[in-house]
Each structure stands twice: as structure tokens, then as C-alpha cells.
Amino acid sequence: MPDSHWRNILHHHDEPDEAMQRIDAQVAPLGELPDAVRHIRALISRFDSLTHYRAFDNLDLIARAIGEGTYPGRPAVDVLTRAWEMDDQRRDRAKAYVQTLQAWSEGKSAEEAQQVADDSELCAELYATLGLIEEHKAWLAASLAHTLKAFAYEAQDLLDEADAADFVRGVYRAALDRDPSHDDLQNRLAELANGKSRDHLTCEVFDSAESRQRQQWRVLEKLNAAENEGC
């Protein structure tokens, strides 16, 4: 069963997010976990930064632990320090880890994984390290992938991963406080399918007359609220 210290978050007293809770639920039917598996999962939860100079050495250490099913004798992850800046090259490499770990944990072949991973060489190396898929190992790999996302992925990356229809609905709700009509949704999906970028679509909706008018009303609401507070 999941332990309270199995986190994927940056603050010790927070609860794991919904996605990690779903991942941890995968092991509930498996019963008691081997000690090594529990220790590796706890080690994943303590992964603290991708900006440390040995961050990728530590990722490889955890990947080997997952593949071999043994807890490493020198968990260098413990020495990582937090920092909040990351160059594009480091971020892209971390994303390739996430893409490969997700594909492997879902049972995809190495060839399928290389189609979605940005670094085919790293993908091949990780598949060799992780070896044959097993339930415990798949859970650990999914846990590590989701944890890395908290450090490597920006909002735009997550938006790019979203289902196209869900993305359009999200843009309309954020900009217009409503869902798109059926026709609007179909037209927007067709635009995306024909090559319009998600960023361009977002800008269009937020810059629409309806959105601008809604923003103006919100400004008036804030002004009125401020005046009432001053009375």
C-alpha cells in the first residue's frame, strides 16, 4: 500500500496530486510490496531538482534500481539541492526521460517509444536498463516519469499533450467562462487539424470581442468592489 511519504510534490506537507494518486492506486491490488520496491519508490519521491550537476546521473541510478529491482547502496539523490532555473538543453533531456519512462511503463515496444521520445539514443539505453516489464517496475517507472514532469514540463508542454477537444474547451472556459458551441468546437478542431497552432488559437479566443468585453466587465467589478471597501 502507498506510504504517506511517497510524494511527487515540492513541499513536504502537501498531498500527492490526483495523477500520482491514480498511479499509486495501480499497486493496491498487488498486496504487500517487496522492501526494495518500497525503498525505490521512496527514493523517487525525494528527487528534488533537475538543476543539480549530477541530476541525470541520479536519474540513471534510479532507472537501474527499477530495472534490477534492488535499492541502490549510494542514493546520491539525497544530496540534490533545489534551484529554480534550467536551460533548454537540460529540460529537453528531462522530457526525453519522461517520454521514454511513460512509454515503457505502458508496455510499448522500443520502436514505438522512439517515435514519441525526443532522444532515440536515450530511449534505447533506458529500455535496455529497465529490461522486461513487470507490474512493480511499471508502477515505479510511471511514478518517476510523473515526478520528473513537475520539474521539466512547463504549462505549454502540458497543454500540447491535452486532447484537442479538451484543449479547446479549456481555452473557451478560461477566456469566455463558457464552453464552445457544438459548431465552434468542430470549427476549432478543424483549424487545429489543418495546422493552426494551439498558441495561435488561444490568442485568437482571448483577443476576441467577447473576451475583451468580459475582461472590461471584470475590471468594472473590481473597481466597484474597491469603492465599496473604501466606504
Helix (H) or strand (E) holding 14: none
Look at residue 11 in the predicted model and tell me its pLDDT: 40
- Tell me, what amino acid is at 231? C
Give, for all 231 residues of the chain, the pLDDT tens digit. Answer: 444 444 544 344 456 677 888 888 887 777 788 888 888 888 888 777 777 777 888 889 899 999 998 877 655 544 444 455 667 888 889 999 999 999 999 999 999 999 888 889 999 999 999 999 999 999 999 999 998 888 888 888 888 888 999 999 999 999 999 999 999 999 999 999 999 999 999 999 999 999 999 999 988 888 888 777 765
**What does the domain layout of the chain look like in residue ranges?**
18-152, 160-230
How does pLDDT run across 3-39, given as a tens digit for each residue? 444 454 434 445 667 788 888 888 777 778 888 888 8
Give the residue from 6, 12, 7, 58 showing the smallest Cα distance to 33.
6
Look at residue 13 in the predicted model and tell me its pLDDT: 47
| Helix segments in the chain, DSSP class H | 18-25, 35-45, 55-68, 88-105, 110-116, 120-130, 135-152, 155-161, 164-176, 182-193, 198-206, 209-230
Look at residue 111 in the predicted model and tell me its pLDDT: 92
